């Protein structure tokens, strides 16, 4: 149960520090604990790894970002890969321009922040710094930036290295999963997988 295709973490260019062969496996019929590596280095690759599983509810995309500035934009804010769009100009797609832009930023691996006008125009930013001052002669809007707010999670199970976390074990846990859960989190050693 769980896991990934072989070498998916190691070959994922979005996470170059992850050298594991697999994402964490959290159960199988015939082995104890989880598998495979408790560190991103991927050095240990075996079953019998202790782990903790959580159910998590993702916040709306915009809640991951904090409003850094209102009606001003850092001068040092290079564009992300997907740059600016007028797709939501005059709020034709979404009446919440910040949520619309946050979803676009989430979909662009190079996006760390965004400037969004109250009219809906959205400009994705790869990075930013306040060191070079601000532009203030803009239409009204917001500059929002990461760090990301972690999803709200609740522990569902602590699995020791000698526990059998098979299908029957997880079926007994299903009734504990809240209907608001949108993902699981597995903490194994120093690794966290969603």
* pLDDT 10s digits, 78-115: 999 999 999 999 999 988 999 999 999 989 989 989 99
User: Which residue has tokens 């809906």?
Assistant: 120
- Residues 62-75 have a mean pLDDT of 81
Separation CA 144–CA 116 (nearest Å): 8
Question: Which token pair is 53?
Answer: 């599983």
Question: Which token pair is 190?
Answer: 């120093």
- Residues 8-18 have a mean pLDDT of 85
| pLDDT of res. 165 | 93
3-state secondary structure of 176: helix
- Averaged pLDDT score across all residues of the chain: 88
Across-strand partners of 35? Answer: 25
| pLDDT of res. 149 | 55
User: Which residue has tokens 């209102």?
Assistant: 70
Question: Count of alpha carbons within 13 Å of 25, Cβ hemisphere only?
Answer: 26
Q: Each residue of 136-154: pLDDT tens digit?
A: 877 889 888 876 556 788 9
| pLDDT of res. 97 | 92
pTM of the model: 0.57
């Amino acid at each position: 149960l769980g896991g990934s295709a072989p070498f998916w973490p190691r070959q994922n260019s979005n996470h170059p520090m992850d050298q594991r062969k697999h994402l964490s496996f959290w159960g199988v019929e015939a082995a104890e604990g989880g598998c495979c590596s408790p560190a991103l280095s991927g050095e240990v690759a075996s079953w019998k790894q202790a782990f903790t599983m959580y159910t998590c509810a993702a916040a709306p995309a915009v809640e991951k970002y904090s409003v850094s500035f209102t009606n001003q934009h850092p001068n040092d804010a290079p564009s992300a890969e997907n740059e600016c769009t007028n797709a939501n100009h005059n709020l034709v797609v979404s009446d919440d321009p910040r949520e619309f832009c946050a979803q676009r930023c989430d979909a662009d691996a190079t996006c760390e922040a965004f400037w969004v006008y109250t009219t809906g125009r959205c400009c994705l930013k790869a990075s930013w710094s306040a060191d070079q001052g601000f532009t203030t002669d803009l239409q009204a809007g917001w500059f929002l930036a990461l760090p990301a707010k972690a999803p709200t999670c609740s522990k569902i199970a602590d699995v020791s290295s000698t526990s059998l976390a098979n299908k029957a074990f997880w079926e007994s846990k299903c009734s504990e999963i809240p209907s608001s859960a949108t993902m699981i989190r597995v903490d194994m050693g120093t690794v966290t997988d969603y």
